[in-house]
């Protein structure tokens, strides 16, 4: 059975040490920014920003908050005030995300980029321009079903942010 094509962003699932997911950190965004649960973000002038390309260093990933829990769900801030958002910013947080192409088992352990529009981001498993993520392994099923290794088109990978502002350089594995 083929993997479904559902790029929805990055879902935090735990830590490298196998511990419970830590609480996200609070960051401010300028007025009028629309963020999505599971979206990668960085900082510009001390405020959350949505990268337009696969930048070299990321702040982290937008966490579920204020009742918004579904990946890809839009969270809109006020146009006139600075809103506070929960961001998973630690370098040891493990995420699950869909691969944009056809993943192969030899990509396990590789560094790669991300791509996609807001709310529809995914791993670009065969691009290494910025190497912002590291693929840990591949999982069965869409976003959360664990089991035997599965690869191919739209595979779901477990990954970490390899170059994050929150944790600086991710751990060497």
Pairing of the two strands 133-139 and 111-115: antiparallel
Tokens of 153: 């088109």
Span 57-63, average pLDDT:
91
pLDDT > 60? residue 165: yes
Residue 143's pLDDT is 47
Phi and psi at residue 65, in whole multiples of 5°?
A: -165, 160
For tokens 């510009």, what's the residue? 44
Q: Is residue 62 located within the same domain as residue 80? A: yes
Average pLDDT, the chain: 81
Residues above pLDDT 90, as percent of the chain: 35
Which tokens go with 72?
């890809």
| Across 25-34, 69-78, 109-118, least confident range | 69-78
* Domain-ending residue, one of 72, 88, 104: 88
Q: Return d(Cα 111, Cα 44) in angstroms, integer.
A: 24
Q: Give the Å distances, CA to CA, from 150 to 42, 88, 139, 142.
A: 31, 26, 6, 11
Counting every residue, how long is the chain? 173
How far is 83 from 55, CA to CA, in rounded Å? 23
Q: How confident is the model at residue 154 (pLDDT cuts 50, 70, 90)?
A: confident
- 36 and 66 inside one domain: yes
Q: Using one digit for the tens of pLDDT, what is the confidence trace for 76-132? A: 665 556 678 899 999 899 999 988 888 888 899 999 999 988 888 999 988 888 888
121 located within any domain: yes
Query: Domain span at residue 77?
Result: 25-88
Q: Which of 73, 88, 103 is the last residue of a domain?
A: 88
User: Could you tell me the pTM of the whole model?
Assistant: 0.86
What pLDDT, on a 0 to 100 scale, did the predictor assign at position 51? 85
Answer yes or no: is 118 within a domain: yes
Domain count for the chain, please give it. Answer: 2
- Cα–Cα nearest to 93, from 5, 173, 172, 11: 11
Q: Does 7 fall in a domain?
A: no
Confidence grade of residue 69 (pLDDT, cut at 50, 70, 90): confident
One domain, residues 83 and 97? no
Question: Which has the closest alpha carbon to 122: 148, 90, 91, 157?
Answer: 157
Specify whether 73 is located in the same domain as 103: no
């Amino acid at each position: 059975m083929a993997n479904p094509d559902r790029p929805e962003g990055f879902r935090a699932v735990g830590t490298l040490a196998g511990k419970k997911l830590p609480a996200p950190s609070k960051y401010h965004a300028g007025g009028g920014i629309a963020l999505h649960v599971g979206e990668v973000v960085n900082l510009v002038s001390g405020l959350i920003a949505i990268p337009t390309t696969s930048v070299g260093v990321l702040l982290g990933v937008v966490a579920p908050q204020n009742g918004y829990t579904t990946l890809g769900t839009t969270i809109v801030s006020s146009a006139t005030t600075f809103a506070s958002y929960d961001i998973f910013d630690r370098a040891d947080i493990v995420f699950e995300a869909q691969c944009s192409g056809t993943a192969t088992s030899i990509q396990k352990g590789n560094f790669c980029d991300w791509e996609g529009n807001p709310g529809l981001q995914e791993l670009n498993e065969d691009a290494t321009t910025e190497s912002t993520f590291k693929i840990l392994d591949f999982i069965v099923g869409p976003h959360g079903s664990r089991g035997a290794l599965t690869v191919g088109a739209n595979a779901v990978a477990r990954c970490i942010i390899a170059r994050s502002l929150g944790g600086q350089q991710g751990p060497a594995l």
